[in-house]
A and B are shown apart, each in its own frame.
Chain A
Amino acid sequence: MKHIHPRTSLAAIALAFFFFCAPVVPLPVAFGQEGQVTRSDLEKILQRLDDLAKKNAALEKKNEEVSKTNSELTNRIRALEQHANPVPAVAGAQAQAPASVKELSTRVQNLESQIQASGGKAGGSTDDVAQLKEDVKELSSIMQDVEKKSLTDKIKFGADLRTRFDWFNYSTNYNNLYGIKLGLGKNGEHPTDQHVQDIPTLRFRLNLTTDILNNLKLHARLTMYKIWNDQHTDAYPYDNMLNYSRTPRDNTLRVERAYADYYFKIWEKFPMALTFGRLPTTDSFPSDLRDDTPRKSTYPGLTFDAEADGVGLTTDLSQLTGLPDSAVRFVWSRLVPDNEQGYWKEQDHNTGSMDFYLLQFETGLPGRLRDTLLVFNTTYFPEVPTAELPGIPLVVPIKNPRDLGSLVKFTLFIESKKFLGSGFDWFAGYSFQRSDASGKATTYGIGPIPLLRAGLLNENGNSNRNAHALHMGVRYTIPWELLNEPKLGFEYNSGSKYWFGLNAGAEDPLHKLDTRGDAYDFYYLQPINSNFFFRVGDTILHRKYSGLWMWGQPPKVTERINNFYMLLDARF
């Protein structure tokens, strides 16, 4: 709409005045002559000018209203046209201009006839819209149910199933147990060769996670591990300490893990987490490579791979160090032995509790080494108590000093995945261990008859021991997409005479990281898909010293154990 400018308006008034008033008001010829403009004439002229100005303003207002109405009608017609014909018209300059009333009427008539001709269906869109509305209504109802279920489903389930077949070949020159020579030769020699064929085992694990709150999470893992169709066999009876659910037993689901993480901040830059329960301490590094999983444990295998209840405090140091996944963890665990007489008192010959403390610093590395984790761990046993000797039930402690000494272990471990962008994953770890004897040793015997003495890695109770272990390996992902990129792995570890591994819960049945000697491990891992793989491997142990855990003087042996296995693993 065009608005009339005030100056234009005044000019029009002046012009109108000139034409309208000219015949009425004679033009002055000269002042003071006949026909001169009088005062009353001037008043009349002014009055007339006022009237004209008012009339002009009224006309302008009416013109504005007409233009506005015209424009509104045009818009409504366009909307109707758009509704009747969804294909957008090419907008030309004329189409944008306000149409005349006559033109608008014609267009309305055309539209009415179009709608009539289509039986009231404007381009078929009315039905579509109605259908869409119905769909949206139905989907909203479904979505509400799904959302409600999702919000009320607190627990996320996962599971993995593994069937494994093992073949063992075992040969030794000695036959002794805890230093008691059972062989018939002069020094207990008793050459033995044994072959165990095809032991099939089944492992089923149910994994549960729940996000109770944003800063409180609960995790659990229930495990069944058994030999096929056998309900009773304890396959590895000697290694059951701190290893209950990870030993083939029966078809009972046992709690391997059950722990809560509570995340909080005392200082903004140091997020912390308090963890308590049955902790994630099995499936240690680098079993994530062998099992082709993400990290599943807190510690390297050289440090600890066994079931443990305890309390841990984690401090995230990433903001302080600027390194990814940088954290320090302090964990306290306690092993409480069986107590047959009651919760508040112990049997005389019973063993004492064993506390252990773990302090671990770990960090990822930046740049191209970002899939690398560096771990430094210190594990400390302040008082190592006497142990019952598994495997020989009649032999019990006669003289039980409870505190045999202390033991500390330092471990440095590094694991790098996709090293420098290649298909190689590798790891290396070294552990140094030191035991300080208390000067006491336990005497074991049958009844009052003493059979042997065992201190902390000694038989006299006085000798301090140093030990070390090495673990290294590599895994290569073969870039054969046709075969889903299979993996080849090799691992080697060695332990010295007084090495005390804590691998009772390890995935491999030989618990190779406990070996006082050398161990070699080869495997081929064939992914079938992202949830299912097949692995075949061979583990060879050369034991130079036998003995279990940290009790007694390790007896010299020459043992060779070969374990060939195949396994199928499916998980979701």
Chain B
Amino acid sequence: MKNVSACLCMLTIGMAVSIAPAFAADGKTFFINKCGSCHKSGGEASVFAPTKYASTQWERFFQANKHSRIKDIGSLLAPDESTAVKDYLKTHAADSDQPEAIGLK
């Protein structure tokens, strides 16, 4: 029981510490909040998932700034945010490791 208590304490301390140093750039958050402001059902642009392209294609998309051909989003995404979104999209791209479970689509 002592061990359990010690572990619980360690976990609690860890959790408390973890809340303080928040990571600066969370690609998923930017993807949902910023990209999702237009790319949504009934929105200005169509909904898309990171699996729309393979990782290399996403890299090329950002490198060539292809979004600017349709709309310039420089004012919407700061450079570090854009990098975070790119990393998120690449991590979850069509050729990335996909989650697996019974009946998971």
Contact across chains for A275 and B103 when beta carbons are under 8 A apart: yes
> What is the bound-complex CA distance between A329 and B20, given in angstroms?
36
Contact across chains for B7 and A424 when beta carbons are under 8 A apart: no
- Find the A residue at minimum CB distance from B91: A530
Is the CB of B15 closer than 8 A to any CB of chain A? yes
- Find the B residue at minimum CB distance from A479: B23
Instruction: Identify which of A296, A419, A479, A490 contacts B15 (C-beta below 8 A).
Output: A419
A window 505-544: CB within 8 A of B: 518, 530
Question: Is chain A's interface secondary structure helix, strand, loop, or mixed overall?
Answer: strand
Is the CB of B49 closer than 8 A to any CB of chain A? no
Instruction: Identify which of A219, A418, A473 contacts B100 (C-beta below 8 A).
Output: A219
- Find the B residue at minimum CB distance from A490: B10
Contacts of A518 in B (CB 8 A): 3
> What is the bound-complex CA distance between A312 and B101, given in angstroms?
11
Instruction: Identify which of B23, B98, B99 contacts A418 (C-beta below 8 A).
Output: B23
Is the CB of B97 closer than 8 A to any CB of chain A? yes
Contact across chains for B100 and A297 when beta carbons are under 8 A apart: yes
Instruction: Identify which of B22, B97, B102 contacts A275 (C-beta below 8 A).
Output: B102
Contacts of B90 in A (CB 8 A): 530
Is the CB of B4 closer than 8 A to any CB of chain A? yes
A window 290-308: CB within 8 A of B: 293-298
Is the CB of A428 closer than 8 A to any CB of chain B? yes
Contact across chains for A474 and B14 when beta carbons are under 8 A apart: yes
- Find the A residue at minimum CB distance from B13: A474
Is the CB of B81 closer than 8 A to any CB of chain A? no
Contacts of B8 in A (CB 8 A): 472
Contacts of A473 in B (CB 8 A): 11
0/1 string, B61-105, CB within 8 A of A gives 1 = 000000000000000000000000000001100000111111111
Is the CB of B37 closer than 8 A to any CB of chain A? no
CB distance from A336 to the nearest CB of B (A): 20
- Find the B residue at minimum CB distance from A360: B102
Contact across chains for A492 and B7 when beta carbons are under 8 A apart: yes
0/1 string, B28-50, CB within 8 A of A gives 1 = 11000000000000000000000
Is the CB of A289 closer than 8 A to any CB of chain B? no
> What is the bound-complex CA distance between A424 and B21, given in angstroms?
10
Contact across chains for A420 and B22 when beta carbons are under 8 A apart: yes
CB distance from A554 to the nearest CB of B (A): 19
Contact across chains for B18 and A297 when beta carbons are under 8 A apart: no
Please report the total number of A residues contacting B with Cβ < 8 Å: 49
Contacts of A274 in B (CB 8 A): 103
Instruction: Identify which of B18, B102, B105 contacts A423 (C-beta below 8 A).
Output: B18
Is the CB of A476 closer than 8 A to any CB of chain B? yes
Contact across chains for B101 and A297 when beta carbons are under 8 A apart: yes
- Find the A residue at minimum CB distance from B29: A421
Is the CB of A559 closer than 8 A to any CB of chain B? no
Contacts of A293 in B (CB 8 A): 97
Contacts of A474 in B (CB 8 A): 10-11, 14-15, 18
Contacts of B4 in A (CB 8 A): 470, 494
> What is the bound-complex CA distance between A275 and B102, given in angstroms?
6
Contact across chains for B14 and A426 when beta carbons are under 8 A apart: yes
0/1 string, A456-472, CB within 8 A of B gives 1 = 00000000000000101
Contacts of A133 in B (CB 8 A): none
CB distance from B70 to the nearest CB of A (A): 22
0/1 string, A263-280, CB within 8 A of B gives 1 = 100000001111100011
> What is the bound-complex CA distance between A271 and B103, given in angstroms?
10
Instruction: Identify which of B7, B10, B22, B101 contacts A421 (C-beta below 8 A).
Output: B22
Is the CB of A504 closer than 8 A to any CB of chain B? no
- Find the A residue at minimum CB distance from B7: A492
Is the CB of A81 closer than 8 A to any CB of chain B? no
Contacts of A314 in B (CB 8 A): 102-104
Instruction: Identify which of A295, A371, A418, A420 contacts B101 (C-beta below 8 A).
Output: A295
> What is the bound-complex CA distance between A333 and B26, given in angstroms?
40
Is the CB of A261 closer than 8 A to any CB of chain B? yes
Is the CB of A331 closer than 8 A to any CB of chain B? yes
Is the CB of A327 closer than 8 A to any CB of chain B? yes
Contact across chains for B14 and A424 when beta carbons are under 8 A apart: yes
CB distance from A316 to the nearest CB of B (A): 8
- Find the B residue at minimum CB distance from A572: B95
Is the CB of A422 closer than 8 A to any CB of chain B? yes
> What is the bound-complex CA distance between A294 and B22, given in angstroms?
22
> What is the bound-complex CA distance between A419 and B19, given in angstroms?
7
CB distance from A274 to the nearest CB of B (A): 8
Contact across chains for B103 and A312 when beta carbons are under 8 A apart: yes
For the A-B complex with A275-B103, A329-B102, A371-B28 known, give 5 more contacts whose Cβ atoms are closer than 8 Å.
Answer: A263-B105, A273-B104, A420-B19, A422-B18, A426-B11
Q: Can you offer 10 A-B residue contacts whose CB atoms are under 8 A?
A: A273-B105, A281-B102, A295-B101, A421-B22, A422-B18, A423-B23, A424-B15, A474-B11, A474-B14, A571-B97
Those 3 A-B pairs whose CB atoms lie nearest each other, nearest first:
A314-B103, A424-B18, A273-B103
Residues in chain B within 8 A of chain A (CB atoms): 3-4, 7-8, 10-11, 14-15, 17-23, 26, 28-29, 90-91, 97-105
